[in-house]
């Protein structure tokens, strides 16, 4: 297999990139000056070495904890639970949310062998038990698996004095929250309903 084939194969592994697009990206890169290829390679190496999950919430971080967990202005009493770190970015871009997050690292998918033990819920449960949480917002994706995960989570975090809410209905079913536009996402968040 040639170096070019290897590159196409790597691109084709990325979400939403088919073989054709992978080829187009690879050929495009090869037309760039080699300094630019070096820069790209260096950037990939750096993120691979530096970026890791936040110890506290699972969001991407370049230190033990992420910027949001370290920000004293963010309300630790409201926690928005999302499937992937990319959704944190989408909610932040939508604006208006001043609480903190818990990134599960996936959703319940029994057919793929992803059960409760594979999801990152420990810190959330600890915080709920510790009494520092007033509201848990279930912002899993609007898909069958996301809904099932939300139903399971609602039970997991249910405790006296804790409000459990779900994003307002009307989000495109089967989609990923990170692809929903900011206005729609901000509305779904502000119109959230108690479950
Ligand atoms: Zn964090």
Q: Which of 162, 176, 170 has its CA nearest to residue 190?
A: 170
Q: What is the pLDDT of residues 55-83, one digit of tens each?
A: 999 999 999 999 999 999 999 999 999 99
Q: Which of 128, 83, 135 has its CA nearest to residue 104?
A: 83
The Å distance, Cα 59 to ligand 1 centre, comes to: 5
The Å distance, Cα 108 to ligand 1 centre, comes to: 22
What pTM value is reported for the model? 0.85
Place of tokens 């007033």: 134
The Å distance, Cα 88 to ligand 1 centre, comes to: 10
Q: What is the pLDDT of residues 134-187, one digit of tens each?
A: 999 999 999 999 999 999 999 999 999 999 999 987 777 777 888 888 888 999
The Å distance, Cα 130 to ligand 1 centre, comes to: 18
| DSSP at 83 | S
The Å distance, Cα 131 to ligand 1 centre, comes to: 19
pLDDT at 168: 85
């Amino acid at each position: 297999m040639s170096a070019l084939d290897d590159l196409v194969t790597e691109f084709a592994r990325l979400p939403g990139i088919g073989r054709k697009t992978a080829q187009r990206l690879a050929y495009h890169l090869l037309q760039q000056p080699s300094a630019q290829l070096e820069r790209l390679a260096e950037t990939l190496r750096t993120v691979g070495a530096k970026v890791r999950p936040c110890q506290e919430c699972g969001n991407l971080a370049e230190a033990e904890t992420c910027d949001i967990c370290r920000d004293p202005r963010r309300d630790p009493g409201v926690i928005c639970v999302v499937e992937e770190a990319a959704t944190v970015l989408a909610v932040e871009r939508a604006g208006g949310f001043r609480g903190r997050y818990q990134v599960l690292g996936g959703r319940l998918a029994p057919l793929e062998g992803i059960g409760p033990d594979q999801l990152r819920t420990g810190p959330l449960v600890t915080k709920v038990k510790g009494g520092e949480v007033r509201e848990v917002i279930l912002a899993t994706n609007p898909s069958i698996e996301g809904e099932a995960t939300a139903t399971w989570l609602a039970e997991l975090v249910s405790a006296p004095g804790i409000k459990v809410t779900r994003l307002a209905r009307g989000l495109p079913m089967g989609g990923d929250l990170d692809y929903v536009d900011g206005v729609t996402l901000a509305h779904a968040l502000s119109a959230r309903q108690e479950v």
